[in-house]
Every structure is written in C-alpha cells, then in structure tokens.
Amino acid sequence: MSVSMNKLPVRTTINGEPRIFLAAPGQVLADALRDELQLTGTKIGCNTGDCGACSILLNERLVCSCLVLAVEAEGQSLQTVEGIAEDGVLHPIQQKLLEHGGLQCGVCTPGVVVAAKALLDANPDPTEEEARYWLAGNLCRCTGYDKIIRAVLDAAATMREGDTP
C-alpha cells in the first residue's frame, strides 16, 4: 500500500547539473521538483495543465510539469526557473518583469519567466500578438497581462541589442 515501496530512481540533468531522485510511479514532475528536489520555484496552481504556473523546459520544450510524470524525466534534461538567472545575475526577462511591474502576488511569475524564455529562444523578435498567444497558457490573476507582455517585448529588444556588437 505504501507508495514509497515502489519508488523508482530517476536520473536527470536539471539546470545543467546531474540530479538523481526517487519518484513514485504516479507522481507528477511538479511534485517531485518541489518535494524531492526542493526546487520550489516551480509553482503548482491547477494541477490540470490550465494555468502554466508549473511551466518548465523538458528537453527545451515548454511543458506543464504537472502533466509530466516524474519517471518520464529519466535520462532527460530539465530547466526550471532556478536555472534562468546566471551567476546571480537576473535574466533580462526577470529584470524587465521587475522594471515593468509585471508581477504582483508572484505565483504565476516563475512559469511566465520560463515560458517567456522558451518564446525568446524560439523567436527572438516576437510581435505582441505572438507573445500573447505563446503566453496564453500562463494565467495571471493580478496584472491583467499588459505589463507582462510589455516586459517580455522589452526583454526581447534588450537581448537583440546585446546580440549585435
């Protein structure tokens, strides 16, 4: 009956570092990140893939970690919000969210950061419409989205400037 009886070892790379953890067969990745790995930056909102708060990158694809089994991560590469800032320096998306006031309560913010990074990795120069559609799976009940979108587009512009010597 005990779930811990049949926990399975899961070998992953998380934010560039090899990590091994134990997961029950039915445990979702969002729970494993938070409870087994103490990576509590990933938030859980709806647990049904509707809100995007648990967004992570799985092999560079944007996914809801509440809709991935932890055991599916075996041998895979994950990036969570903890891996977005480098050497203590905020990523431009994080910096611009602060500057534009693109967050209030902050529960959606880690998911927004990860989703926006995936957007800018795939499309460094998105239109506002493209950004809004890409981020449609990240629900925010505080900001009304406008400041988030402004921050993401500003971050994109900043990153493009940084690319041109």
Partner 1 sequence: MAVQDFVAPRSLGEAQIAFAEGGGASWLAGGTDLLVGIRLGSRDPSRIVDLKRIPELMAIEVESDQVRLGAAVSAYDLLRHPTVAMLYPGLAEALALIGSTQIQGRCSAGGNLCNASPAADSIPALIANRASCRICGPKGERLIPVEDFVVGPNQTALGGDELLVELVLPLPTGRCSDAYLRLTPRTEMDIAVAGAGVSLTLDDDGKCLASRVAIGAVAPRALLVEEAGQALVGSRLEEAAVQDAVLAVRAAAQPITDKRGSAGYRTHVVGVLVARAIRRARARIAGEEIV
Burial of 142 (0-12, 13-18, 19+ CB in 10 A): middle
Could you say whether residue 32 binds partner 1 (CB under 8 A)?
Answer: no
Report the alpha-carbon distance of residue 23 to residue 63 in Å, rounded. 19
Could you say whether residue 30 binds partner 1 (CB under 8 A)?
Answer: no
Q: Which of 32, 110, 134, 140 binds partner 1 (CB under 8 A)?
A: 134
Q: Which of 12, 21, 27, 45 binds partner 1 (CB under 8 A)?
A: 27
Report the alpha-carbon distance of residue 28 to residue 94 in Å, rounded. 26
Contact between 147 and 132 under an 8 Å Cβ cutoff? The reply is no
Could you say whether residue 44 binds partner 1 (CB under 8 A)?
Answer: no
**Backbone CA torsion sign across 154, 160, 164, 165:** positive
Q: Which of 124, 136, 141, 144 binds partner 1 (CB under 8 A)?
A: 136
Name the residues that contact partner 1, by CB under 8 A. Answer: 6, 8, 24-28, 47-50, 52, 55, 58, 61-64, 66-69, 71-72, 74, 115, 118-119, 133-138
